[in-house]
Amino acid sequence: MSYAKRLLLLMSIDTTIVMLSIFFGSYLLYNNDYINSSIIIVSSVFLIVSHHIFAYFFKLYKKVWQYASVNELTEIFKAVSFSILIVGILQILVFGALFTRTLILTWMLHILLLGASRFAWRILRDHYMFPNENKNKKRTLLIGAGSAGRMVVRQITMRGSDSELQPVAFVDDDIKKMNLEILGVPVVGQVKDIEELVQEYEIEHIVIAIPSLQRGEVQKIYQECQKTKIHTQIMPMMEDILNGRVSVSQFREVQIEDLLGRETVELDTSSVSSYVAYKIVMVTGAGGSIGSEICRQVVKFHPNKIILLGHGENSIYDIEMDLRQRELTCEIVTEISDIKDKLKIDAIMKRHQPDVIFHAAAHKHVPLMERNPEEAVKNNVVGTKNVAEVASDNNVKTFVMISSDKAVNPTSVMGATKRVAEMVVQHMDTISETNFVSVRFGNVLGSRGSVVPLFKKQIQQGGPVTVTDPKMTRYFMTIPEASRLVIQAGALARGGEIFVLDMGKPVNITDLAKNVIELSGHTVEEIGIKYTGMRPGEKMYEELLGDEEVHNEQVYPQIYIGKTLPVDVNLITELINDVNSQDKETLKAHIFDTADLRRRTVTKVNFNQ
């Protein structure tokens, strides 16, 4: 039906309802004596005109009444009430009297008949025209009977929805909601009752409908859901829904990030804008997991230019294409270069004159660096030294280097070279006008070197999932979280600091493997877990700050700062000079000797002197 025909039909129905309301109301009050009076006829005309005006104003003729709810009933109440009010005013002006009882009864009948006419289609649709519509849909338990839960019910039950789900019950820990019905769906219990309720209501699907959940709460709820072996999903973030990126009913799978049990660090946007907005920003290692995410986060703050520097052309191409697909106001520049090539790095900085550098380029793979210690030194130490010195020479304002928790009491070549790189950065801060800082964090979920992609690949191949030791633990964070920390550190930088994220409790790798297996739709018994023993350079557990480095107070929510320790530059210079003249085992010993924090000689000289 066209809009014009629909409008004409609704206006005809409403005109009939208005006439019935006022004449029937008058008949009930005054019997036949009053029906033909001029007052009733004139009032009817006034009411018809005012009703159509307010019906148009409150958009009653544009509502899709097959989805009518309390909101639509409220609009009917407003339109009718204002219509009656206008008629009352006109009665006083024209007739010099107000026929109160007639108007009140007319108002009641008007609302009753108008509401009935509008809701009739929904009643017919739900109970008579499509009674078997939900027959083949999955019986769904919704966790959370708040506003988000109501949104989910409306979205997946509306006519025309292609959802395969049919909500049959809510669970909510709010006692006040217990035994109530929300949009026809009962609140039947609390989170602790999920296992029992799944059996009682023959649940086939579970949706967590609380987008504001803290991560610890998600973990608690998901553990209860896992006891049932029923497929569990979670509704999208409210921010994504409001921005139009996804709809309410586009449920996603529960991710391992949801189960970390620790809240993400949010950026202080004003402080970040103060040093990034309208500036020139360079990111080394821009094609890597962390580097590319730093680029995505930085461009939100409208720099004038962002320089994507990396050694691998494919990865740099990927992040360039990613950024160009966004609506950006900044210039995007790509530079293919090895950070070990100091002359090239210097030429790039002279050409672009960056204000801020995020140094993410590094070798990070522990076993590979154990077998290639000379490359770890060249890339992690010499490369960092090159970029830092050139940054100082070109008057870069802020230099932020990404470090690792493996730099604390290092047992691997990778960790030791990252500790030496931290020392390089700390030393550069003492001799330069540039603010040099390091940011230290644990393992990053989803990064190239993370265990999670490895676990997923092993699961796809049928298992088993390999874990080095049942007691091994690690700190974990997400890629966006790590990137935000790096960017925030630049805003907090005063020079020489090592910033550390409060990463909560370390995660047992076996527990992590079990979660990944279950999130993939399998059981641990199906896939299996195989223990392979610790590899060279690995630690049973990680630390974020050494005993000599700890400051107890936070400098930003969930961010700590380590103490600045003296650096012996001569040892670093010797390591660099001897990198190609020693066998691997001797070089390893030299690396660990240089990274030893017990050496406290303060030497404020340039490396090249």
Q: What is the pLDDT of residues 460-506, one digit of tens each?
A: 888 888 888 888 877 677 777 778 878 888 888 888 888 887 666 77
Please tell me the CATH code under which domain 138-254 is placed: 3.40.50.720
pLDDT above 60 for 448: no
When mean pLDDT is compared across 163-177, 205-219, 338-352, 576-590, the lowest value belongs to 205-219
Please list the residues that pair with 498 across neighbouring strands. Answer: 438, 562
Model pLDDT, residue 247: 54
191 HSE (CA, 13 A, CB side): 18
Higher pLDDT pick, 402 / 158: 402
Determine the residue type at 482: A
Q: 264 and 272 in contact (C-beta within 8 Å)?
A: no
More confident residue, 495 or 263: 495
Higher pLDDT pick, 558 / 602: 558
Q: d(Cα 253, Cα 235) in Å, to the nearest integer?
A: 9
Question: What is d(CA 332, CA 283) in angstroms, rounded to the nearest whole number?
Answer: 11
Q: From the CB of residue 133, how many other CB atoms can be counted at a distance below 10 Å?
A: 14
Res 259 pLDDT > 70: no
Question: How large a percentage of the chain has pLDDT more than 90?
Answer: 23
Distance CA 320, CA 332 (A): 7
pLDDT tops 50 at residue 574: yes
What's the pLDDT score for residue 232? 85
pLDDT for 609 equals 46
pLDDT, residue 422, reads: 92
Q: What is the structure's pLDDT at 158?
A: 65
Which residues have a Cβ under 8 Å from the Cβ of 222 and sit 6 or more positions away? Answer: 208, 232, 254, 258, 259
Give the C-alpha separation, 255 to 258, whole Å: 5
Higher pLDDT, 31 or 587: 587
| pLDDT score of 90 more than 70 | yes
State how far the Cα of 331 lies from the Cα of 305, in Å rounded to an integer: 4
Out of 30-44, 409-423, 541-555, 577-591, pick the least confident.
Answer: 541-555
What is the 3-state secondary structure of 456-524? HHHHHCCCCEEECCCCCEECEEEHHHHHHHHHHHHHHCCCCCEEEECCCCCEEHHHHHHHHHHHCCCCH
Task: Tell me which residue of 70, 75, 99 sits closest to 87, measured CA to CA.
Answer: 99
Q: Positive or negative CA dihedral for 27, 30, 36, 41?
A: negative
Q: 435: helix, coil or strand? A: strand
Residue type, 539: K
Query: What average pLDDT score do residues 250-276 get?
Result: 70
Q: How confident is the model at residue 424 (pLDDT cuts 50, 70, 90)?
A: very high
Residue spans per domain, the chain: 3-129, 138-254, 273-444+477-502+544-595
The arrangement of strands across the sheet holding 280-284 comes to: 331-336, 305-310, 280-284, 356-359, 398-402, 435-440, 498-501, 559-562, 554-556
* pLDDT value at 267 more than 70: no
Q: How far is C-alpha 447 from the chain's CA centre?
A: 17
Are the beta carbons of 171 and 142 closer than 8 angstroms? yes
Is the pLDDT at 545 greater than 90? The verdict is no
HSE, CB side, 13 Å, CA atoms: give it for residue 39. Answer: 17
- Per-residue pLDDT, 431: 92
Q: How far apart (Å, rounded) are the C-alpha atoms in residues 404 and 503?
A: 13
pLDDT digits (tens, 9 = 90+) for 295-332: 998 998 899 999 999 998 999 999 999 999 887 889 99
pLDDT at 447: 56
Give dist(CA 477, CA 499) in Å, integer.
Answer: 15
- Across the range 148-170, mean pLDDT stands at 77
Q: What is the dihedral of CA 30, 36, 37, 41, to 10 degrees?
A: 110
For the record, the structure tokens of 5 come out as: 């025909």
CA distances from 55 to 8, 27, 49, 114 (A): 13, 26, 10, 11
- Is pLDDT above 70 for 115? yes
Please tell me the predicted confidence (pLDDT) of residue 303.
94
**What is the distance of C-alpha 58 from the center of its chain?**
36
155-164, 314-323, 541-550: which is most confident: 314-323
pTM summary value: 0.62
Q: How long is the chain? A: 609
Specify the pLDDT at position 358: 96
* Strand blocks (E) in 184-285: 185-189, 205-208, 232-234, 252-253, 280-284
50-79: per-residue pLDDT in tens? 888 888 888 777 765 655 566 778 888 888
Confidence (pLDDT) at 123: 67
Q: Is the pLDDT of residue 243 over 80?
A: no
605 band by pLDDT with thresholds 50, 70 and 90: very low
Give the list of residues 6+ apart from residue 536 with CB closer than 8 angstroms, or none.
367, 370, 412
Task: Say whether pLDDT at 389 is over 60.
Answer: yes
For 433-447, what is each residue's pLDDT tens digit?
A: 999 999 887 666 655
Q: State the average pLDDT over residues 81-105.
A: 86
Task: Choose between 257 and 115: higher pLDDT.
Answer: 115
Cβ count near 505 (within 10 Å) = 10
Asked if the domains at 138-254 and 273-444+477-502+544-595 fall in one CATH topology, the answer is yes
User: What amino acid positions are annotated as catalytic residues?
Assistant: 406
Whether residue 348 has pLDDT greater than 90: yes
CATH class given for the domain over 273-444+477-502+544-595: alpha beta
Radius of gyration of the chain (CA): 34
CA atoms within 13 A on the CB side of 167: 29
Of the given ranges (86-95, 127-136, 142-151, 179-188), which has the lowest mean pLDDT? 127-136
Most confident residue range from 51-60, 121-130, 245-254, 380-389: 380-389
